[in-house]
Amino acid sequence: MRGRLGAVAARGRKAKAFLHSSSATSLLGPNLPDVWTVATSSSRSTSSANCGPAQQRPAKILDGNLMAREIRSGIACEVCRVRERLGKSPGLAIVVVGQRKDSHTFVQVKMKACEEVGISTFVKELSEGCSQEELFGVVSRLNRDSSVHGIIVQLPLPQELDEERIIDIVNPAKDVDGFHPMNMGNLAMRGREPFFIPCAPKSCIELLLRSGVEIMGKRAVVVGRSKIVGLPISLLLQRHHATVSTVHAFTKNPDQITREADIVVADVGIPNIVRGSWLKAGAVVVDMGTTQVEELTPDGRKKYRIMGDVCYEEAVEVASAITPVPGGVGPVTISMLLSNTLDSAKRAIKVS
């Protein structure tokens, strides 16, 4: 049962601006509506007529929850073996500054996932007003701490802190988020290997590979080019020898270009921006979007739900396979963080 969809509540400076300001339209090109109205379930069912040739049956659902359970079960076994050789559990340090509720929720989710597979966590909480030097000091100590195999600085940081400079001082060999430019550069450059691949992009590829989707030689379109998701996904798909096009706010005909793709990855942060009509029949669709949307229940109460970038009800009729939101890349992403931390601990064994 779905209530009226209201304003975008989170993730979304970009989403908000787009939904509420017609001046933002130019950023997205002339082929998009002036004011984007998030589709309701009834409008969705009628608009599915705009889709490309319908599949014989709805798309295969790429179940991230199931895949995450399988991956984590494997990781838990490996953690046991690593612990024996290392004499201690692999360790993940999470640095969180201030009291943002969403940040603390994410930290809790990560801690719980670590606990489940036997990875130790060390959470360093700093106050909202902490100085750059104080944060540098904490990260530097974690860089030197041999119990810590992975370091995450939970983003976003308070505006007074220079996010880039802080990411730059994380030891690239412990940068399990894969956000350090050294890791990103090594990901971009063929023939080189980063210590870590960012978790969400890695989960996208993992999901495709585990679902038996062939990437080599396929045309892939990545809708969105954020530096921590869209960009590294483009780089990864190219590493797997797809022919990649990146569609973004300045692209004049995003629907037309996306319709050429065998694999579509959406990471824009605007609910439902990728319509069924944007897809070639039989395309594989990975939805990286996770926008928190406020809804009103029939009895007038507010509730929130997570929405993807792909108009699921339309897409499921056109695509051959699709990730749901939630329950698609999200759970796999957390598994990739565990996997990165495990990999780092394994490297520590080889070094020691």
Question: Site size for a second copy, by CB under 8 A?
Answer: 37
Q: How far is CA 298 from CA 4, 13, 45, in A?
A: 8, 28, 20
| 304 sits near a second copy (criterion: CB under 8 A) | no
Q: Which of 65-73, 238-246, 318-326, 329-337 is the region at the interface with a second copy (rule: CB under 8 A)?
A: 238-246
CB 151 within 8 A of CB 344: no
Nearer residue to a second copy within complex by CB, 114 or 229: 229
User: Per CB under 8 A, which of residues 20..79 are in contact with a second copy?
Assistant: 29
> What's the one-letter identity of residue 7?
A
Q: Pattern 171-210, binding to a second copy, x per CB under 8 A?
A: ---------xxxxxxxxxxxxx------------------
| 143 sits near a second copy (criterion: CB under 8 A) | no
State the catalytic residue, choosing from 14, 16, 110, 280.
110
**Residue with structure tokens 């897809």?**
279
Nearer residue to a second copy within complex by CB, 29 or 58: 29
Residue closest to 286 by CA, chosen among 259, 308, 255: 308
Tell me the torsion sign for CA atoms 291, 228, 332, 116.
negative
Examine the residue annotation and report whether 168 is marked as an active-site residue of this protein: no
CB of 242 to a second copy, least distance (A): 8
Tell me the DSSP string of 264-333: EEE--SSTT-B-GGGS-TT-EEEE---EEEEEE-TTS-EEEEEE-SB-HHHHTTT-SEE--SSSSHHHHH
Torsion of CA 109, 110, 114, 117, to 10 degrees: 60
| 301 sits near a second copy (criterion: CB under 8 A) | no
Distance CA 68, CA 328 (A): 9
Examine the residue annotation and report whether 177 is marked as an active-site residue of this protein: yes
| 247 sits near a second copy (criterion: CB under 8 A) | yes
| 159 sits near a second copy (criterion: CB under 8 A) | no
Q: What is the DSSP letter of 28?
A: G
Nearer residue to a second copy within complex by CB, 232 or 330: 232
State the catalytic residue, choosing from 14, 154, 218, 255.
154
Give the residue numbers marked as catalytic.
110, 154, 177
Question: What does the binding site for a second copy look like in residue numbers (CB under 8 A)?
Answer: 29, 164, 180-192, 216-217, 219, 225-227, 231, 235, 238, 241-252, 257
